[in-house]
Amino acid sequence: MNRIAKRFARLKESQEKGFVVYIGGGDPNLGATADLACAFDKLGVDVLEIGVPFSDPLADGLVNQLAAQRGLESRTTPPLILKTVRQIRETSEIPIVLYVYFNLLHRFGFARFIQEAANAGVDGLLVLDLPPEESENYETLMGDAGLSVIYLIAPTTPEDRIEFIVRRATGFIYYVSREGVTGMQSKISMTIGEMISRIRAHTDLPIAIGFGISNPDQAAAVAREAEAVVVGSAIVNQIAEHGKSADLVSKVAAFVEPMIKAVKRSIETI
Protein backbone atom coordinates (compact mmCIF):
# COMPACT_ATOMS: atom_id res chain seq x y z
CA MET A 1 0.00 0.00 0.00
CA ASN A 2 1.63 3.27 -1.08
CA ARG A 3 1.32 6.63 0.63
CA ILE A 4 -1.77 7.69 -1.34
CA ALA A 5 -3.71 4.55 -0.41
CA LYS A 6 -2.56 4.83 3.20
CA ARG A 7 -3.59 8.46 3.42
CA PHE A 8 -7.09 7.89 2.05
CA ALA A 9 -7.52 4.84 4.30
CA ARG A 10 -6.57 7.01 7.29
CA LEU A 11 -8.95 9.77 6.20
CA LYS A 12 -11.79 7.26 5.87
CA GLU A 13 -11.07 5.80 9.29
CA SER A 14 -11.06 9.24 10.92
CA GLN A 15 -14.06 10.40 8.83
CA GLU A 16 -12.10 13.32 7.39
CA LYS A 17 -12.05 14.84 3.93
CA GLY A 18 -8.78 15.20 2.04
CA PHE A 19 -7.11 18.34 0.72
CA VAL A 20 -4.97 18.07 -2.40
CA VAL A 21 -2.66 20.87 -3.55
CA TYR A 22 -1.27 21.40 -7.04
CA ILE A 23 1.84 23.50 -7.70
CA GLY A 24 4.12 23.86 -10.70
CA GLY A 25 7.50 22.23 -10.22
CA GLY A 26 10.36 24.72 -10.32
CA ASP A 27 8.06 27.72 -9.87
CA PRO A 28 9.83 29.99 -9.08
CA ASN A 29 12.64 27.47 -8.46
CA LEU A 30 13.09 23.93 -7.19
CA GLY A 31 14.24 25.08 -3.78
CA ALA A 32 10.88 26.78 -3.33
CA THR A 33 9.09 23.63 -4.53
CA ALA A 34 10.79 21.57 -1.81
CA ASP A 35 10.15 24.20 0.86
CA LEU A 36 6.49 24.52 -0.12
CA ALA A 37 6.05 20.74 -0.03
CA CYS A 38 7.34 20.54 3.52
CA ALA A 39 5.21 23.52 4.59
CA PHE A 40 2.11 21.91 3.07
CA ASP A 41 2.85 18.70 4.94
CA LYS A 42 3.01 20.57 8.24
CA LEU A 43 -0.28 22.35 7.45
CA GLY A 44 -2.08 19.05 6.90
CA VAL A 45 -2.22 18.82 3.09
CA ASP A 46 -3.06 15.20 2.25
CA VAL A 47 -1.66 14.88 -1.29
CA LEU A 48 0.70 17.11 -3.24
CA GLU A 49 0.54 17.26 -7.03
CA ILE A 50 3.66 18.64 -8.66
CA GLY A 51 3.38 19.74 -12.28
CA VAL A 52 6.36 18.79 -14.44
CA PRO A 53 7.00 21.86 -16.65
CA PHE A 54 6.13 21.35 -20.30
CA SER A 55 6.19 23.72 -23.26
CA ASP A 56 2.65 22.88 -24.47
CA PRO A 57 0.42 22.29 -21.42
CA LEU A 58 -2.84 21.98 -23.36
CA ALA A 59 -5.01 20.98 -20.37
CA ASP A 60 -4.02 24.08 -18.41
CA GLY A 61 -5.38 27.60 -18.29
CA LEU A 62 -3.27 30.73 -18.28
CA VAL A 63 -2.27 30.65 -14.59
CA ASN A 64 -0.80 27.16 -14.80
CA GLN A 65 0.63 27.77 -18.28
CA LEU A 66 2.63 30.67 -16.86
CA ALA A 67 3.75 28.49 -13.95
CA ALA A 68 5.04 25.93 -16.44
CA GLN A 69 6.85 28.71 -18.28
CA ARG A 70 8.47 29.90 -15.06
CA GLY A 71 9.48 26.31 -14.32
CA LEU A 72 11.14 26.02 -17.70
CA GLU A 73 12.87 29.37 -17.18
CA SER A 74 14.29 28.07 -13.88
CA ARG A 75 15.74 25.16 -15.93
CA THR A 76 13.52 22.55 -14.29
CA THR A 77 13.65 19.15 -16.01
CA PRO A 78 12.09 15.75 -15.20
CA PRO A 79 15.37 14.46 -13.65
CA LEU A 80 15.58 17.57 -11.45
CA ILE A 81 11.95 17.11 -10.39
CA LEU A 82 12.82 13.58 -9.27
CA LYS A 83 15.88 14.89 -7.46
CA THR A 84 13.63 17.38 -5.65
CA VAL A 85 11.22 14.62 -4.64
CA ARG A 86 14.15 12.73 -3.14
CA GLN A 87 15.03 15.89 -1.23
CA ILE A 88 11.45 16.22 0.05
CA ARG A 89 11.56 12.60 1.18
CA GLU A 90 14.42 13.40 3.55
CA THR A 91 11.96 15.21 5.84
CA SER A 92 8.43 14.46 4.63
CA GLU A 93 6.15 11.53 3.85
CA ILE A 94 3.47 13.63 2.14
CA PRO A 95 1.94 11.62 -0.75
CA ILE A 96 3.19 13.01 -4.07
CA VAL A 97 1.62 12.76 -7.53
CA LEU A 98 3.42 14.04 -10.61
CA TYR A 99 1.14 15.88 -13.05
CA VAL A 100 2.85 15.30 -16.37
CA TYR A 101 2.35 15.28 -20.14
CA PHE A 102 3.07 12.12 -22.10
CA ASN A 103 5.70 13.61 -24.40
CA LEU A 104 8.02 14.13 -21.42
CA LEU A 105 7.70 10.47 -20.41
CA HIS A 106 8.21 9.34 -24.00
CA ARG A 107 11.39 11.36 -24.33
CA PHE A 108 12.74 10.27 -20.94
CA GLY A 109 11.86 6.63 -21.55
CA PHE A 110 8.48 5.40 -20.38
CA ALA A 111 9.49 2.41 -18.25
CA ARG A 112 12.62 4.18 -17.00
CA PHE A 113 10.68 7.24 -15.82
CA ILE A 114 8.16 5.14 -13.92
CA GLN A 115 10.86 3.19 -12.12
CA GLU A 116 12.97 6.23 -11.33
CA ALA A 117 9.89 8.09 -10.08
CA ALA A 118 9.12 5.20 -7.72
CA ASN A 119 12.74 5.09 -6.56
CA ALA A 120 12.66 8.84 -5.84
CA GLY A 121 9.57 8.57 -3.66
CA VAL A 122 6.76 9.51 -6.05
CA ASP A 123 3.46 7.77 -5.24
CA GLY A 124 1.42 8.26 -8.42
CA LEU A 125 1.28 9.77 -11.89
CA LEU A 126 -1.46 11.79 -13.57
CA VAL A 127 -0.58 11.75 -17.27
CA LEU A 128 -2.84 14.44 -18.70
CA ASP A 129 -2.88 13.36 -22.32
CA LEU A 130 -2.68 9.58 -22.02
CA PRO A 131 -6.17 8.07 -22.50
CA PRO A 132 -6.52 4.63 -20.89
CA GLU A 133 -7.43 3.18 -24.32
CA GLU A 134 -3.90 4.03 -25.52
CA SER A 135 -1.96 3.27 -22.37
CA GLU A 136 -0.61 -0.12 -23.55
CA ASN A 137 1.50 -1.52 -20.67
CA TYR A 138 1.46 1.71 -18.63
CA GLU A 139 -0.79 0.34 -15.90
CA THR A 140 1.24 -2.86 -15.59
CA LEU A 141 4.49 -0.91 -15.27
CA MET A 142 2.89 1.39 -12.70
CA GLY A 143 1.52 -1.50 -10.68
CA ASP A 144 4.87 -3.28 -10.70
CA ALA A 145 6.53 -0.08 -9.43
CA GLY A 146 3.92 0.41 -6.70
CA LEU A 147 2.62 3.68 -8.17
CA SER A 148 -1.01 4.82 -8.34
CA VAL A 149 -2.58 5.37 -11.76
CA ILE A 150 -4.61 8.57 -11.50
CA TYR A 151 -7.16 9.12 -14.26
CA LEU A 152 -9.45 12.06 -15.01
CA ILE A 153 -13.22 11.95 -15.44
CA ALA A 154 -15.02 14.99 -16.87
CA PRO A 155 -18.66 16.18 -16.79
CA THR A 156 -18.98 15.03 -20.40
CA THR A 157 -17.66 11.49 -19.80
CA PRO A 158 -20.37 8.98 -20.82
CA GLU A 159 -21.49 6.21 -18.49
CA ASP A 160 -19.75 3.34 -20.26
CA ARG A 161 -16.45 5.21 -20.32
CA ILE A 162 -16.73 6.10 -16.62
CA GLU A 163 -16.96 2.39 -15.89
CA PHE A 164 -14.01 1.66 -18.21
CA ILE A 165 -11.79 4.34 -16.62
CA VAL A 166 -12.43 3.54 -12.96
CA ARG A 167 -11.71 -0.16 -13.50
CA ARG A 168 -8.17 0.78 -14.53
CA ALA A 169 -7.46 3.53 -11.97
CA THR A 170 -5.78 3.17 -8.59
CA GLY A 171 -5.23 5.59 -5.70
CA PHE A 172 -8.11 7.95 -6.40
CA ILE A 173 -10.28 9.28 -9.22
CA TYR A 174 -9.76 12.92 -10.21
CA TYR A 175 -13.11 14.41 -11.19
CA VAL A 176 -12.76 17.55 -13.31
CA SER A 177 -15.77 19.52 -12.11
CA ARG A 178 -16.24 21.61 -15.24
CA GLU A 179 -15.43 21.56 -18.94
CA GLY A 180 -12.34 23.33 -20.26
CA VAL A 181 -8.90 23.97 -18.84
CA THR A 182 -7.62 24.59 -15.32
CA GLY A 183 -8.34 27.96 -13.73
CA MET A 184 -10.04 29.82 -10.89
CA GLN A 185 -13.82 30.24 -11.01
CA SER A 186 -16.28 32.51 -9.18
CA LYS A 187 -18.71 29.65 -8.53
CA ILE A 188 -18.68 25.88 -8.50
CA SER A 189 -20.54 23.62 -10.91
CA MET A 190 -24.13 22.72 -10.07
CA THR A 191 -23.77 19.21 -11.52
CA ILE A 192 -21.09 17.93 -9.14
CA GLY A 193 -23.43 15.90 -6.92
CA GLU A 194 -25.05 14.14 -9.87
CA MET A 195 -21.72 13.25 -11.48
CA ILE A 196 -20.19 12.00 -8.23
CA SER A 197 -23.19 9.67 -7.77
CA ARG A 198 -22.64 8.31 -11.29
CA ILE A 199 -18.95 7.68 -10.60
CA ARG A 200 -19.63 6.06 -7.23
CA ALA A 201 -21.94 3.57 -8.91
CA HIS A 202 -18.87 2.04 -10.55
CA THR A 203 -16.07 2.27 -7.97
CA ASP A 204 -15.13 2.35 -4.30
CA LEU A 205 -12.02 4.43 -5.01
CA PRO A 206 -11.87 7.86 -3.33
CA ILE A 207 -12.94 10.74 -5.56
CA ALA A 208 -11.11 14.07 -5.56
CA ILE A 209 -12.81 17.07 -7.17
CA GLY A 210 -10.79 19.81 -8.84
CA PHE A 211 -10.68 22.57 -11.48
CA GLY A 212 -11.83 26.02 -10.39
CA ILE A 213 -11.92 25.78 -6.58
CA SER A 214 -10.34 28.93 -5.20
CA ASN A 215 -11.59 29.85 -1.71
CA PRO A 216 -12.62 28.24 1.62
CA ASP A 217 -16.38 28.40 0.96
CA GLN A 218 -16.03 26.65 -2.40
CA ALA A 219 -13.64 24.09 -0.91
CA ALA A 220 -16.05 23.26 1.92
CA ALA A 221 -19.02 22.97 -0.43
CA VAL A 222 -17.18 20.62 -2.79
CA ALA A 223 -15.79 18.53 0.10
CA ARG A 224 -19.34 17.57 1.07
CA GLU A 225 -19.68 15.74 -2.25
CA ALA A 226 -16.51 13.63 -2.34
CA GLU A 227 -13.51 12.33 -0.42
CA ALA A 228 -11.14 15.15 -1.36
CA VAL A 229 -10.81 18.61 -2.88
CA VAL A 230 -8.05 19.69 -5.27
CA VAL A 231 -6.93 23.32 -5.35
CA GLY A 232 -4.36 24.36 -7.92
CA SER A 233 -4.66 27.60 -9.89
CA ALA A 234 -5.57 29.72 -6.87
CA ILE A 235 -2.41 28.54 -5.08
CA VAL A 236 -0.27 28.84 -8.21
CA ASN A 237 -1.55 32.41 -8.53
CA GLN A 238 -0.28 33.13 -5.02
CA ILE A 239 3.12 31.72 -5.94
CA ALA A 240 3.18 33.97 -9.00
CA GLU A 241 2.31 36.99 -6.85
CA HIS A 242 4.85 36.31 -4.11
CA GLY A 243 7.48 34.35 -6.04
CA LYS A 244 10.17 36.97 -5.59
CA SER A 245 9.42 37.52 -1.90
CA ALA A 246 11.55 36.09 0.88
CA ASP A 247 8.23 35.30 2.58
CA LEU A 248 6.90 33.21 -0.31
CA VAL A 249 6.36 30.03 1.71
CA SER A 250 4.68 31.73 4.67
CA LYS A 251 2.42 33.81 2.40
CA VAL A 252 1.30 30.77 0.40
CA ALA A 253 0.82 28.78 3.59
CA ALA A 254 -1.35 31.56 5.02
CA PHE A 255 -3.52 31.38 1.89
CA VAL A 256 -3.84 27.60 1.96
CA GLU A 257 -4.50 27.08 5.68
CA PRO A 258 -8.09 28.47 5.76
CA MET A 259 -9.07 26.19 2.87
CA ILE A 260 -7.66 23.15 4.66
CA LYS A 261 -9.62 24.05 7.79
CA ALA A 262 -12.80 24.56 5.75
CA VAL A 263 -12.43 21.13 4.13
CA LYS A 264 -11.71 19.41 7.43
CA ARG A 265 -14.76 21.09 9.03
CA SER A 266 -17.04 20.22 6.10
CA ILE A 267 -17.81 16.77 7.55
CA GLU A 268 -19.57 18.50 10.44
CA THR A 269 -22.22 19.95 8.11
CA ILE A 270 -23.02 16.77 6.20
Distance (Å, whole) CA 269 – CA 252: 27
Catalytic residue among 60, 123, 225, 227: 60
**Residues in Cβ contact with 74 at an 8 Å cutoff, skipping those fewer than 6 apart:** 26, 27, 28, 29, 30
β-sheet with 228-231: strand ranges across = 148-149, 124-127, 96-100, 47-51, 18-24, 228-231, 207-210, 173-176, 151-153
Q: Verify whether residue 60 is a known catalytic residue.
A: yes
Catalytic residue among 46, 49, 123, 227: 49
Query: Which contacts qualify for 109-115: CB closer than 8 Å, 24 or more apart?
Result: 110/138, 110/141, 111/141, 113/78, 114/138, 114/141, 114/142, 114/145, 114/147, 115/141, 115/145
Question: Which amino acid is residue 25, in one-letter code?
Answer: G
Cα 26 vs. chain centroid, distance in angstroms? Answer: 16
On whether the CB atoms of residues 101 and 127 are closer than 8 A, the answer is: yes
Q: Verify whether residue 134 is a known catalytic residue.
A: no
Q: Which residues pair with 50 in a beta bridge?
A: 23, 98
Q: Which residues pair with 96 in a beta bridge?
A: 48
Task: Give the active site residues.
Answer: 49, 60
